[in-house]
Amino acid sequence: MQTPFGDVPVFDAHAHFFSHRFFQGLLEPIKGRFAGKDPYAAMGEELKLELPEADPAKLAARWVAEMDLKGVQRMVLMASAVGDEESAAAAVKAYPERIAGYLMLDPTKPDAAVRVRRALKDMGLKGVALFPAMHHFSAADPRAWPIYEAAAEHGAVIFAHFGLLKIAIRDRLGLPSKFDMRYSNPLDLHKAAKEFTKVSFQVPHFGCGFFREALMLGDLCPNVHLDTSSSNTWVKQMPYPLTLRDLFEKSLAVFGPSRLLFGTDSTVFPRGWRADVFQEQAQILADLKVTPEDAAAILGANLARLLGSA
C-alpha cells in the first residue's frame, strides 16, 4: 500500500469476523420484534448493514475483495462470538495467505482448555481473543492459565481487551451488555506476562482508557505489545488533554517500534476496511519522523514476525 513511507505491506492486527453465527446470536432474543418478516433480513435493514450468508467462506471472500480494493496485504480476523472458531477457521482455510484467524474464548467455561487446543492445533488459528470485562474474569485468574499454556505450546498470540468496552451493534439493537469493568485494568495481565515469557500478548486500543497502566505493563514485560486500532475516541474521556499523536509518541518511547501493531478494528460492511484509521495513523508516524523501516514494522512486519510468517 502507498504510504508516506512508500509502498509498505500492511498487515492489520485487529479486525472482527462478524459471521452469520454472530448475527444469529444477536437475533435470537429479539426475533419477536420482526413478526411477519424474515427476521434475519429485517435485522439487517434495521442496522443498515450487509449481513453475511451462512457460509463463512463467502464472508472471507468479501473481506479479501475489500483488501484487494484498499491495498491491504493481510488481516487478522477474529471470531467475535464464543464458540464460533469454526467460522474463523473456514476463512483461514479459504485464504491462508491473506487471513490469520483468532478465536474468542471464555476461560470460565469448562471446555475452554479443550476448545483452545483444538483451535490452535487442528484448525489453523493463530491467536486467542480474551475479553475479561465481558466474561467476568481477571487476566490473573488461575482459570486462564491453561489458555496461556496452550498459547505457549503452539506459538499463539494472546489478544486481551482491557479498558472501555462497547459493542455498538448490541447498543443499536437495544441489547444489554453486562460487562464488569472491574476486570478492565491491563496490569491484571502482569503476572501472566511475567510467567509466560514466550507468549506474545496484544493489548488493543493503547489500553483503551488505561493508557498509563498499559505503558507500565509494557515497560515491565517485553512480551507485551500494543495495538493501535480504532479511532481511539476514548481520549476524550481523559481528565487531561491527550491526542492520538501523544499516544504514538509515548508508546514509541516505552514500547519502541518493534512492539507496536497497527490495526483498524474493522467489523462490518458496507463500511468495510477502515482506511481513514490507516491514513491518520500513517500520517502521524510520518509527522513523528519514524524511519521507513520502523514504520514498515509497525504497519505489518511486527505482526508477521509474531505469527511466524515474516
Model confidence over 71-87: pLDDT tens digits? Answer: 999 999 999 999 999 99
Write down the domain spans for the chain: 2-306
Domain 2-306 coded CATH 3.40.50.300: no
Model confidence over 174-201: pLDDT tens digits? Answer: 999 999 999 999 999 999 999 999 999 9
Do strands 127-130 and 157-160 pair parallel, antiparallel, or not at all (unpaired)? parallel
Average pLDDT, the chain: 97
Residues of the chain with pLDDT under 50: none
Whether the full predicted model's pTM is greater than 0.95, yes or no, is: yes
Instruction: Locate 154 and state its grid cell.
Output: 503452539
Predicted confidence at residue 228, as pLDDT, reads 98
Predicted confidence at residue 310, as pLDDT, reads 54
Predicted confidence at residue 135, as pLDDT, reads 98
Nearest to 153 by CA among 184, 187, 118: 118
Query: What is the SS3 string spanning the chain?
Result: CEECCEECCCEEEEEEECCHHHHHHHHHHHHHHHCCCCHHHHHHHHHCCCCCCCCHHHHHHHHHHHHHHHCCCEEEEEECCCCCHHHHHHHHHHCCCCEEEEEECCCCCCCHHHHHHHHHHHCCCCEEEECHHHHCCCCCCHHHHHHHHHHHHHCCEEEECCCCCCCHHHHHHCCCCCCCHHHCCHHHHHHHHHHCCCCEEEECHHHCCCHHHHHHHHHHCCCEEEECCCCCHHHHHCCCCCCHHHHHHHHHHHHCHHHEECCCCECCCCCCCCHHHHHHHHHHHHHCCCCHHHHHHHHHHHHHHHCCCC
Predicted confidence at residue 302, as pLDDT, reads 98
